[in-house]
Structure 1
Amino acid sequence: MRFLVLSLLLALTMQTTSAAPAPVPQAADMFDFWVGDWQVSWKNADGSVGKARNHVSRILDGHVIEEQFEQDPADLAPLLKGRSLSVRDPAGLWHQAWADNQGGFFALTASADGDKRLFSTALVPVGDQVKGQRMIFHDIRKDGFTWDWEGTTDGGRTWKLLWQLDYRR
């Protein structure tokens, strides 16, 4: 019996010491810059300018950030309409779920790189590639910022810009 108890204690000790380090909590206000009403624009592949509005607010007692993105009705169809919910979990890590009217769904996890704020999907093997996507909020100012949507096919070694949006209050 004594051997069994010592073996169990040793096994538990080895599990706790070999476990991954606890994630570092992120600031509760990490995405406060994003809250507000925004006019959004971008260049389409044909050189024309796309436009949208994005209403971002705190809901559910201020614990969740809700995004309501709607492409300008004057743009060519199909018009993109999407919603996201971003929440800081009990461990202090930010997560986002995005869904849109074109069948898009993304589950993302936040990180920071200096003054940049990122939401990234998990990297997923697809054939001989490892794919993922991320959004980067950068050049953040009181009256605007730039939002980049990027993709990778090599596990994050390189990233390709897929869509760049200009946000203005």
Structure 2
Amino acid sequence: MKILLTLIIMILAITGNSFAQTSVQELEAYFDFWVGEWELSWTDNQGKEGAGTNTIERILDGVVIQENFMATEGALEGYKGRSVSVYNPQRQSWHQAWVDNQGGYIDLKGSVDGNQRIFQTAERPGPQGGTIINRMVFYDINKDSFTWDWESSQDGGESWSLNWRIFYQRVK
């Protein structure tokens, strides 16, 4: 019995270590571009402009990405949000949880589509009936800049409407 218990513990320890290594490798491969200090500017789908900051850092042994967003100018001034993103090796997918100072909570699942990085919500009831899916898309990714879109779909993801576009510029 002791030998069986010892074998189970060893297998779990080895498996846990390989998951941790996979997580770090996936983090570096897919979201390394996002880590850093950023200045933001945007115009939403109603023409309202704004600016803010976003600090992205690795935490918990470099496996989790933590986001610290703050709107500093414009109609959203004072809006703050935080997210944590992690690669789940058992599910082989990224997951993000977003919270903000207005009581908002959003649960998203990540994917990669070519040069785009995407976090998307599950389908849920829409405000006027039907269903809605939201997603954020990172694209035009360069060392010191990228674009981030918040989009929504009311037809199961067949078409997408732009709600908010943010331009990220790395703080030097």
**Normalised by the shorter chain, which TM-score bucket?**
0.7 to 0.9
Counterpart of 1:81 in structure 2: which amino acid?
K
Kindly report which structure 2 residues correspond to 1:93-108, keeping only aligned pairs within 5 A, or say none: 93-108=93-108
What residue is the counterpart of 1:117 in the other structure?
Answer: 117
What residue is the counterpart of 1:89 in the other structure?
Answer: 88
Q: Distance in 2 between matches of 1:136 and 1:45?
A: 16
Structure 2 spans left out of the alignment, 5+ residues? 1-22
Identity fraction in percent: 48
Q: Deviation above 4 Å: which 4+ runs of structure 1?
A: 44-48, 125-128
Q: Which moved more, 1:139-148 or 1:40-49?
A: 40-49
Structure 2 CA distance for partners of 1:96 and 1:45, relative to 1, 3 Å: closer
What residue is the counterpart of 1:22 in the other structure?
Answer: none
TM-score by length of 1: 0.78
1:39 Cα shift?
0.1
Kindly report which structure 2 residues correspond to 1:68-83, keeping only aligned pairs within 5 A, or say none: 68-72=68-72, 74-76=73-75, 79-83=78-82
Structure 2 CA distance for partners of 1:63 and 1:132, relative to 1, 3 Å: same
Structure 2 CA distance for partners of 1:160 and 1:128, relative to 1, 3 Å: same
Kindly report which structure 2 residues correspond to 1:9-158, keeping only aligned pairs within 5 A, or say none: 27-29=26-28, 30-44=30-44, 47=47, 49-72=49-72, 74-76=73-75, 79-91=78-90, 92-126=92-126, 129-158=130-159
Q: Distance in 1 between matches of 2:99 and 2:157?
A: 23
Q: Distance in 1 between matches of 2:46 and 2:106?
A: 27
Q: Distance in 2 between matches of 1:46 and 1:158?
A: 19
Q: Secondary structure at the match of 1:28?
A: helix
Q: Distance in 2 between matches of 1:87 and 1:99?
A: 15
1:45 Cα shift?
5.7
Q: Distance in 1 between matches of 2:44 and 2:33?
A: 26
Once the two structures are superposed, what CA deviation does each residue of 1:116-138 show, in whole Å capped at 9, x if it has no partner? 00000001244752211000000
Structure 1 spans left out of the alignment, 5+ residues? 1-24
Structure 2 CA distance for partners of 1:38 and 1:123, relative to 1, 3 Å: same
Once the two structures are superposed, what CA deviation does each residue of 1:102-151 show, in whole Å capped at 9, x if it has no partner? 12211000011110000000012447522110000000000100000000
